[in-house]
Amino acid sequence: MRPTVKNKIALISPQGFLDSGNVNTVLNIDDIEYILKSDLNAVFISLKSIVFFNASAIQTLSTVFIKNIMAKKHINVGFCDYDKRKYDLLLKYLDGEPKIILLESSGLVSLFFGSASHESQRVLVWNDNTVRKSMILYKLLEKGCVGVAANSKEEFLSAEDNEYDYKVENCYLGGSGDNIQHYTKSNMVVYVFSSFLDSEITDTFDTVSHRNYLRTGFKVYALDCSFVVGINTHAINFLSRLAVSGAEYNATFVIVGFDEAKIGSMVKKELEQSGVLFRKNLNDVFEDEALIKASMFNTPTKNTSKKSLTKQTIKSLSSLVDSTIHTIEVMTKLKSEKLSLKLTKLDLLDVKEEFVATSIGFYGHIEGVVVLIFQKDIARKACAILSGTENIKDIDMLDFIGELINITMGKAKTVLSSKNLIIKMTLPKTFANISEIRSSFESKDGVLVDFLFENQKFMFFLTP
């Protein structure tokens, strides 16, 4: 089906039913060839005139997008023009974390990816997933729009339509594609499990990423089983091994949402003997003073052998730094001034100003740890667009700078991918003060790049 093209966006608009019987007519070989030869920013399939679609059709089209278009050309792809019911089905059929983009309307496709200017347009954003909301707000800033973060769904729904050019809620700008969702809050890693847990957990749980989280220094892991309907012996043994393997890193594992009524007293006792704690809900975890203290206890990353940055990692430094500085400039609307670049240990002994920091590990074709160290005022300004206010509590600001490094490394990951360098990232870790930063990184060698943002100090540190 030949797409219509406007402002460098190709829109494909099928009608009626979309299933395995007619999916090939929507995006065939000739269409793909036309798309690859054209100068386009994005290709979207509109579901506006679709009465029904099934999982097979959506999964097939998503695979074609990824393997036949994204793999050959850097271009944005996805679905648009849907209601809440269709959005929920799309997420369900694409395993909750699709690698393609979902936008509520073709107008939003034009806003995010079109060649026409949308500068200064006001856009109200709500998403109960803070990482997704942050990505949307950042993309709006890049386009020159005024992104406004609603503090609650009620605030979003009560806002008058004539106050904003667009209201964005049920949208998704791409993700990791991991089967088991996970995120960080207050330096705790939260894994979200669902449905029935059985032997397949060993396939869907990313043990490589988890080991990197342990090495990076995360101390508390909440296993959210609130949406789990049942669990068998294989999964119980897996969770038990997970807790035991974390013992050498002094890691604490907390299962949330499971009680004796769900798993039985014997199973609960068995897991407790493995060192697992139990809590009723996530709020009980986030408000537990002992767990909060443990999560904020930063120790140097565990290293059994001396590592150094590879030549390929050093060559990739400019991609990492440029993505970071561009993101902060967009967030703060301030220009950066580069002061110095040197191979050195991270020496913070003479630092007198208040600083906060965030770090994230990456591995694959290249590997290392990026540490972003902000003077507090610039951190607060950079996080204002994500929080909706500069009056942020310090504990909340740490979560927001964690989101910020996710955005910067997401941009760097895309740039590196275009150079055939594939990386995966750990979750971000945050540091509340100079003492915490020193305890984790001051003995490490690396590349230190110093910047100023209107006399506010910022440091980019890359270490093995």
Supply the CATH number for residue 286's domain: 3.30.750.24
pLDDT at 103: 94
Which residues contact residue 189 at a Cβ distance below 8 angstroms, ignoring those fewer than 6 apart? Answer: 182, 183, 213, 218, 220, 221, 222, 427
What are the two backbone dihedrals, phi and then psi, of residue 81, each rounded to the nearest 5 degrees?
60, 70
Give the pTM.
Answer: 0.61
446 lies in the same domain as 317: yes
pLDDT in tens, 18-50: 988 888 889 889 999 999 999 999 999 999 999
Q: Please determine, for residue 175, whether its predicted confidence score (pLDDT) is greater than 60.
A: no
371 lies in the same domain as 257: no
* CATH number of the domain encompassing residue 351: 3.40.1550.10
Boundary residue ending a domain (270, 295, 320) = 295
Q: Please determine, for residue 422, whether its predicted confidence score (pLDDT) is greater than 60.
A: yes
276: containing domain: 181-295
Using an 8 Å Cβ cutoff, are 153 and 127 in contact?
Answer: no
Name the H helices within 29-117. Answer: 29-37, 55-64, 84-93, 106-113
97 lies in the same domain as 22: yes
263 lies in the same domain as 358: no
288 lies in the same domain as 328: no
Name the H helices within 230-278. Answer: 233-245, 260-263, 265-273
What are the two backbone dihedrals, phi and then psi, of residue 147, each rounded to the nearest 5 degrees?
-90, 130
Strand order across the beta sheet in which 166-168 lies: 146-149, 122-125, 166-168
424 within some domain = yes
Q: Which helix (H) or strand (E) holds 398?
A: helix 394-417
125 within some domain = no
Q: 223 pairs with which residues across the strands? A: 191, 255
216 lies in the same domain as 332: no
134 within some domain = no
257 within some domain = yes
31 within some domain = yes
Q: Please determine, for residue 12, whether its predicted confidence score (pLDDT) is greater than 90.
A: yes
173 within some domain = no
275 lies in the same domain as 334: no
- As for how many domains the chain has, the answer is 3
410 lies in the same domain as 334: yes
32 lies in the same domain as 102: yes
Which residues contact residue 136 at a Cβ distance below 8 angstroms, ignoring those fewer than 6 apart? Answer: 125, 127, 147, 168, 171, 173
421 within some domain = yes
322 lies in the same domain as 383: yes
Of all residues in the chain, what percent carry a pLDDT higher than 90? 20
256 within some domain = yes
Boundary residue ending a domain (116, 137, 153) = 116
237 lies in the same domain as 332: no
220 lies in the same domain as 324: no
Token pair 């106050």: residue: 163
Dihedral sign (CA 386, 387, 393, 395): negative
Other Cβ atoms less than 10 A from the Cβ of 97: the count is: 15
Boundary residue ending a domain (116, 133, 160) = 116
Using an 8 Å Cβ cutoff, are 69 and 36 in contact?
Answer: yes
Using an 8 Å Cβ cutoff, are 386 and 365 in contact?
Answer: no
> Distance between CA atoms of 271 and 259, rounded to whole angstroms?
12
Token pair 């994230």: residue: 360
pLDDT in tens, 423-442: 887 878 888 888 878 777 77
pLDDT in tens, 368-378: 889 999 888 88
Report the amino acid identity of residue 131: V
pLDDT at 180: 62
